[in-house]
């Protein structure tokens, strides 16, 4: 395991002192001061360890982020987890989402639930501390040990045999579904594809049941509020090897129905981890901002709901007028490449 460690004294020294006793023997620390510190990392298991100052910043981290965003393929074949520690209460998860997206587009896969974050007060570990009957600092250490243990033992998900595509778009007008059809027709025949539409209010949003109620119904593969989520979507999620989210970007956010899906999935997640299920995204924006939705998929389904994030998990296009996606130069070829990526990884 290689620890990728952007220097940010004195905060990085504090983080290293916390992490070193918790990591498996034989870890190699790669201090990142200049972009070339990411060279020769193909095929490695990586732990990104980022320390932020009170403003949620780190110069070395931003230089590393810049290198990842400019250098496609720099982390080909790598699988990673991430630890972010901040002096303040904000920005730790935002920094982590930016890093995961940039590293993923550079060829790096991420475990399901790849993030351990520590705010300055460690109050974000209060619930975990209560569950484990310990204090916040000990809960943080347990989370790091759990993450690094999974990373050290990870051998990859099984091949994709069943794929579930979820959308909330109208087939007659949607550029997003046009992109999906370009991908779908290039998938090999051995992959069984199920497509579900969540349009027209078929999925009510989560109503925030008590934890015990959610746990009770989730243990039965159900939700108190029932409906299509329980009858169709939950069984499809349980059965699939890969989930493809088909996301139209109208307001720089996932649509209400897709957001409701992520929220309602909590009931199933209470008793099921999705570590071996791949997450993919197809995002079509009318103007810009596809990366904003990619970050939402990462935080909602990879960081929180534990879906595995394969390398280059997301295909993002820009198309506004009806039917314009099909006219984009190279769109069909990019769709075919994305389909091969699903089939081969």
Q: Taking residues 8-13, what's their average pLDDT?
A: 94
* Residue 73: pLDDT over 50: yes
* Residue 187: pLDDT over 60: yes
φ, ψ at 279 (rounded to 5°): -115, 130
Q: Taking residues 281-290, what's their average pLDDT?
A: 96
Percentage of the chain modeled with pLDDT above 70: 90
> Do 98 and 138 belong together in one domain?
yes
> Do 291 and 323 belong together in one domain?
yes
Greatest C-alpha distance within the chain: 59
In 3-state terms, the chain is what percent helix, strand and coil (to 5)? 40, 20, 40
> Do 186 and 70 belong together in one domain?
no
Q: Taking residues 208-227, what's their average pLDDT?
A: 45
- Separation between Cα atoms, residue 133 and residue 130, nearest integer Å: 5
Q: How many domains are contained in the chain?
A: 2
The last residue of a domain, from among 153, 171, 200: 153
> 81 or 35: which carries more pLDDT confidence?
81
pLDDT band at 313 (very low <50, low <70, confident <90, very high): very high
- Separation between Cα atoms, residue 30 and residue 49, nearest integer Å: 10
Number of residues written out for the chain: 345
| Per-residue model confidence (pLDDT) at position 39 | 75
- Single out the residue of 142, 76, 82, 78 nearest to residue 112, CA to CA: 82
- Single out the residue of 250, 290, 311 nearest to residue 107, CA to CA: 311
Domain that holds residue 308: 162-344
The last residue of a domain, from among 133, 153, 173: 153
* Residue 142: pLDDT over 60: yes
| Per-residue model confidence (pLDDT) at position 226 | 47
Tokens found for residue 132: 């484990």
> Do 326 and 286 belong together in one domain?
yes
The last residue of a domain, from among 131, 153, 175: 153
* Residue 282: pLDDT over 70: yes
* Residue 174: pLDDT over 90: yes
> Do 106 and 174 belong together in one domain?
no
- Single out the residue of 166, 165, 170 nearest to residue 322, CA to CA: 170
Is residue 32 a contact partner of residue 64, using CB atoms and an 8 Å limit? yes
> Do 30 and 133 belong together in one domain?
yes
First to last CA, the chain: 21
22-31 pLDDT, tens digit each: 998 889 999 8
Q: Taking residues 307-323, what's their average pLDDT?
A: 96
> Do 39 and 141 belong together in one domain?
yes
> Do 139 and 14 belong together in one domain?
yes
* Residue 20: pLDDT over 70: yes
110-137 pLDDT, tens digit each: 999 999 999 999 999 999 999 999 999 9
Q: Taking residues 274-279, what's their average pLDDT?
A: 98
- Separation between Cα atoms, residue 164 and residue 301, nearest integer Å: 14
Is residue 143 a contact partner of residue 116, using CB atoms and an 8 Å limit? yes
| Per-residue model confidence (pLDDT) at position 239 | 96
Rounded to the nearest integer, the mean pLDDT of the chain is 90
> Do 80 and 177 belong together in one domain?
no
> Do 181 and 86 belong together in one domain?
no
Q: Which helix (H) or strand (E) covers residue 213, if one does?
A: helix 211-218
> Do 75 and 179 belong together in one domain?
no
Tokens found for residue 71: 């250098």
* Residue 298: pLDDT over 80: yes
* Residue 84: pLDDT over 60: yes
Local structure of 286: helix, strand or coil:
coil
Q: Taking residues 227-233, what's their average pLDDT?
A: 81
Least confident range from 23-37, 58-72, 243-257: namely 23-37
| Per-residue model confidence (pLDDT) at position 43 | 92
pLDDT band at 98 (very low <50, low <70, confident <90, very high): very high
Q: Taking residues 277-287, what's their average pLDDT?
A: 97
245-260 pLDDT, tens digit each: 999 998 999 999 999 9
Residue 35 DSSP class:
G
Instruction: Give the C-alpha distances (Å, rounded to integers) separating 56 from 62, 215, 223, 263, 343.
Output: 11, 35, 38, 28, 39
> Do 210 and 333 belong together in one domain?
yes
**Domain CATH for 24:** 3.40.50.360
φ, ψ at 68 (rounded to 5°): -65, -40
């Amino acid at each position: 395991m290689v620890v990728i460690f952007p220097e940010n004294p004195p905060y990085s020294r504090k983080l290293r002192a916390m992490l070193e006793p918790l990591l498996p023997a034989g870890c190699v620390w790669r201090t990142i001061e200049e972009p070339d510190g990411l060279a020769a990392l193909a095929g490695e298991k990586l732990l990104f360890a980022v320390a932020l100052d009170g403003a949620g910043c780190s110069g070395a981290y931003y230089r590393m982020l810049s290198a990842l965003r400019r250098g496609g393929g720099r982390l080909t074949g790598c699988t990673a987890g991430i630890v972010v520690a901040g002096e303040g209460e904000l920005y730790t998860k935002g920094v982590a989402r930016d890093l995961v997206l940039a590293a993923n587009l550079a060829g790096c896969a991420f475990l399901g639930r790849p993030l351990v974050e520590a705010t300055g007060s460690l109050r974000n570990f209060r619930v975990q501390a209560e569950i484990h009957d310990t204090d916040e600092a000990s809960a943080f250490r347990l989370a790091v040990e759990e993450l690094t243990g999974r990373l050290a033992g990870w051998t990859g998900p099984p091949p994709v045999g069943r794929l579930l595509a979820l959308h909330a778009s109208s087939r007659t007008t949607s550029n997003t579904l046009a992109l999906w059809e370009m991908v779908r027709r290039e998938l090999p025949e051995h992959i069984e594809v199920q497509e579900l539409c969540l349009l027209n209010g078929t999925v009510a949003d989560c109503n925030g049941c008590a934890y015990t109620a959610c746990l009770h119904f989730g243990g039965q593969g159900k939700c108190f509020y029932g409906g299509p989520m329980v009858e169709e979507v939950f069984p499809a999620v349980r059965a699939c090897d890969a989930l493809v989210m088909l996301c139209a970007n109208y307001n720089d956010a996932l649509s209400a129905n897709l957001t409701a899906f992520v929220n309602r999935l909590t009931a199933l997640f209470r008793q099921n981890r999705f570590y071996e299920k791949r997450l993919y995204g197809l995002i079509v924006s009318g103007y810009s901002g596809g990366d904003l939705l990619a970050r939402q998929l990462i935080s909602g389904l990879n960081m929180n709901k534990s879906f595995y994030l394969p390398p280059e998990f997301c295909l993002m296009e820009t198309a506004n007028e009806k039917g314009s996606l099909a006219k984009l130069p190279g769109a069909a070829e990019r769709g075919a490449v994305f389909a091969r990526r699903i089939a081969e990884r």
